[in-house]
Structure 1
């Protein structure tokens, strides 16, 4: 049983198979939670491109320490599944990702029952979704965002009634600014945020230059600026796409390794979700106060 940096024990159970359809590969999840406690809020986390249920431990363990039960799926795009752009399933993976999260939420009690009886320890009215990069666009759909078609018309509503709040880390921006590669292979990267009404925290790095967009780092703030209140925005001046290494320690794709930055991302999400889920707003208020003394290294806005 792992122990976090404050000495509090957490548990992790994997893999747990989730009922799913039209997927071809079993949907499996990992559950991480405090070893004790009742009425715990839940986070369902969607990983970035190519990752799996084994990634993002620096975030997940810290959230479990803060009192959350965290459920992490392995989506079809995980590198362990070997599905490339030439695979006929590639064009629909964005939809399967969303279906994965729906399957988890629809079967949440059964999943958590297999993780040591956690189903009896959660608060069913306090469920949030969080995602990074492609995962951020995936969870955005459950918060109410839609995908624009080729004619610019918003598509299907994939929101889920169980979801009460969320957080989007390095979320896809809007506008006709996709690079030729992205436009050809990832045409679904056109979110419509005007319908994303569920409370959410948006996190963006000031040095996150996406290879999928011709715009600069401000592209990653669209989810905040274009969606209706209530929303929060955490801007991290020196943050790049992995924001210090949120996917894991010593990960090769991390170009801005900074454990302090990772802790900031994790703790800001915990604080926001505890506030938005009406558990305790103290940490979120304190974070606003702390931002005033950060000397511009990071800032928080709310609307």
Structure 2
């Protein structure tokens, strides 16, 4: 029996929002707080949507929550649908000289304390205009920012990684200083930089950052690595064990350096200015919201750079 997909109405949009939240929260229970709904109500909504479309969208069981192949198709189509709805609202509001709609920004972790981070100033600039925009921000690993922009889960982001994904536009916002660190319990902690040889460094256990390719890692020697970190905080925790060395942002590490439990290893050789990018989707006609906020980020970046130079 062929099941027709009915024309969408307001109820379908509401149910799709529930489905989107459940998918992105990876389960019904985790979506309760996001949606402000009880688990039984969420379950009813998903069942109604499955009945409406004649499709099994997700599976719940001992192994956890997962989308069916049809559910994955519906989720991806839902992202495109909501993006187009938001674009329609934004375009119509823009024709009246207004900013309206939803803007989702993802940023990599642990950059809030960086004095060159333009995000706070850009938010102030954006809100100085009269607008009814709902802004959502999320903090995720650096490479997840790119994937989020690529697949439409967010509109633009700030990231320290740059992947070969087609259709993404990268613009450098600023640079953060990255250095190689060891903890006070590590054998290299009390060794001077001049006393460290390449043979010494080949004996270390290096924290490899899982969101970078090996070509992107700043490793000059064939270092051993038995641990992988997906977050800056996890890298720090590995280093503090005294068993590993790894790269950390200087602004993030400063508090532990001041406490005497972290130190740089040969900063003349193993420190670098790492670019932080504004990433957005390539488009001949970008959203008014995205282009406006992107311009605010770039303007704030230039102002902060000038202040730093003076």
Q: Which has the higher contact order (CA 8 A, sep 6+)?
A: 2
Which has the larger Rg? 2
Same fold per superposition (TM over 0.5): no
Q: How would you bin the TM-score normalised by the shorter chain?
A: under 0.3
| Greater share of helix | 2
Given the two structures, how large is their TM-score scaled by the length of structure 2?
0.27
